Amino acid sequence: MKQPVERFAAYRQALAAKVHASGVKHGKTLEAIATVPRHAFMDPGLHAQAYEDTALPIGHEQTISKPSVVARMIELMHKPRHPLGKVLEIGTGCGYQAAVLSLLADEVYSIERIRPLHDLARAKLRPFRINNLRLIYGDGILGLPQAAPFDGIILAAAGLGIPDALLDQLAIGGRLVAPVAKNEKEQQLVMVERMSSQRYQRTVLDGVFFVPLQSGVV
């Protein structure tokens, strides 16, 4: 990843320290948080808040996710002592998490259903010249069968359940991490590991708050 000259290095380190303090221990994930300039994915009016550990608006009623939650999900997607091969992200938004993932996986595919956000992410990511990241405009509920199977799948938006197509496209031994709505107000982080072609092991973790997973493209 090409790193443009900028003056936020100390802020990025401080953000990685906050993410560490929130409980994330995975060294490579923390390093990636300390490397990606989060402000570059946001509106200039929000740059002053870019290194706070909070979700912030990116337009179209969507948000850039909270860094400690991004890191927690990426940490969960890693199996101990297994480097990440091919990863699929549902919900590119402005492209921040996709940039973080590009530092941790061999290949990253990221799908967004809102055309102007897909275009925004493309523009925001261009200066970094990341060559292992592909952005796709489409409905992530369908996954990306042409690039499957994936060693890791991460959802940045909460559905009522986990779409079957995504479970099908998970490699055996791979992990999917998603926020899942429990009811109108509550969501939980769920990690699913594919144990064999038919068997999936599901673990329910922390309470979270994400924008909704919606079907179709706009």
User: Which residues are tagged catalytic?
Assistant: 65
104 binds ligand SAH (CB under 6 A): no
Q: State yes or no: residue 29 binds ligand SAH (CB under 6 A).
A: no
Residue 111 binding ligand SAH, by CB under 6 A: yes
Please state, in angstroms and rounded to a whole number, the distance separating the CA atoms of residues 26 and 44.
30
C-alpha distance from residue 74 to each of 27, 70, 78, 87 (Å): 11, 6, 7, 10
Give which of 100, 106, 109 is closest to 82, Cα–Cα. Answer: 106
Q: Copy the structure tokens of residue 153.
A: 């799948």
112-131 residues near ligand SAH, rule: CB under 6 A: 112-114, 117
141 binds ligand SAH (CB under 6 A): yes
Among positions 32, 125, 157, 180, the unique one binding ligand SAH when judged by CB under 6 A: 157
* Phi, psi at 52, each rounded to 5°: -85, 150
90 binding ligand SAH? (CB under 6 A): yes
For ligand SAH, how many residues bind (rule: CB under 6 A)? 24
CA–CA gap between residue 48 and residue 174 (Å, rounded): 37
Q: Measured from the CB atom, is 157 or 192 closer to ligand SAH?
A: 157
- Name the residue nearer to ligand SAH (CB basis): 65 or 187: 65
One of 148, 167, 181, 211 touching ligand SAH (CB under 6 A): 211
Q: What's the burial of 216, exposed, middle or buried (CB within 10 Å: 0-12/13-18/19+)?
A: exposed
Name the 3-class secondary structure at 202.
Answer: strand
How far, in Å, CA of 210 to CA of 180, rounded? 9
**46 or 211: CB nearest ligand SAH:** 211
Q: Tell me which residues touch ligand SAH (CB under 6 A).
A: 62-65, 90-93, 96-97, 111-114, 117, 139-141, 156-157, 211, 213-215
